[in-house]
Amino acid sequence: MELLFNMLKQTELDFSKINNDTLKYRFIDLFAGIGGIRTGFERVFKHSKCVFSSEIDKYARISYETNYNETPFGDITKIKEEDVLAHDIILAGFPCQAFSIAGLRRGFDDTRGTLFFDVARIAKYHRPKVIFLENVKGFVNHDKGNTFKIVKKTLEEIGYKVFYKILNAKNFGVPQNRERIYIVAFLNNSIDFSFPESISKDVKVGDILESNVDSKYTISNRLWLGHQRRKEEHKQKGNGFGYCLFNHESKYTSTISARYYKDGSEILIYQEGKNPRKLTPREAARLQGYDDGFKIIVSDTQAYRQFGNSVAVPVIEEIAKKIKLALDLVV
């Protein structure tokens, strides 16, 4: 803990060197993954600085350090809220971990034992202007809606006005059908926030595909036959499960997931005269809205996991624009 304290103090000293006339917002990046939420916010909040980040996965930490020149701290549950530097915005794509209390009974205490509690305890201590949360679409209905109600009530109990909406990446310039819930909470209860509307931008799967792709991404005969057999079995059962095949002209793909590395079944790319292929890691990055400057230095397996667990950056960017507008109107 002494080492952690010294590292945080050094970060604070480095931060103090920044010209306060140009710096407007400080933010922290919790459950940071490879920094997708951070990337979206930094595209909008130009005069800002990330003063603290936390991520437990060692491979994600490697990618994060490579791209942001800082190593996230590890397990947030082991870091005291007073040791986190002061900040204006919390960014957190927190895991949807099952809550120990099913009913809506004890508010803030109901979140103990969950990773959301770590967001709440830091927010309660530091009182940042904004809390930004992202999660899977199903989070809103988890445990018959009780989980979401507890999260919302917890934020309200510590003084925040809560807004939320489910948005789809395919409506924000990304050729991917990816629905996620976004929660924005303001400490200033007078703020009337609205989420962004869909943007008008014609995209297709071909926009994110590379022109020269290594043959190793073409799936084997055995795997392709297996995909086809399983899809036919599901069809006979009356459901639509099975592989999903796309081409250059497809409007969007299905949702890329952290399990994509296993067999690529949710997004296969058609190839004339060949078996279909998986996306390359670079294509997976593009599908999530990362530009080609994002460095991929981990194995393909880890890269697929990381991009599958990440966020659609352009959606984050559009929400960040709305958040900045709301904040600027009251400053």
Q: Round to whole Å and give the CA distance between 319 and 331.
A: 19
* E strand or H helix that includes residue 184: strand 179-186
End-to-end CA distance of the chain: 37
Task: Return the C-alpha torsion angle 214, 215, 220, 223, nearest 10.
Answer: 30
Q: Round to whole Å and give the CA distance between 49 and 25.
A: 7
Token pair listed for 82: 């007073």
Q: Answer yes or no: are the C-beta atoms of 313 and 288 closer than 8 Å.
A: yes
Q: Round to whole Å and give the CA distance between 37 and 33.
A: 9
Q: Answer yes or no: are the C-beta atoms of 99 and 111 closer than 8 Å.
A: yes
96 classed as catalytic: yes
Q: What is each CA distance from 120 to 81, 114, 143, 221, in whole angstroms? A: 10, 10, 20, 50
Q: Round to whole Å and give the CA distance between 98 and 121.
A: 18
CA-CA-CA-CA torsion sign (83, 325, 20, 53): positive
What is the three-class DSSP state of 59? helix
- Cα angle, residue 282 at apex, residues 285 and 172 outer, rounded to 5°: 35
Q: Report the residue count for the chain.
A: 331
**Catalytic site residue from 56, 86, 96, 162:** 96
Exposed / middle / buried, residue 275 (Cβ in 10 Å: 0-12, 13-18, 19+): middle
Strand arrangement of the beta sheet that strand 245-246 belongs to:
245-246, 268-269, 277-278
CA-CA-CA-CA torsion sign (188, 189, 192, 193): positive
Token pair listed for 242: 């099975």
Query: Could you list the active site residues?
Result: 96
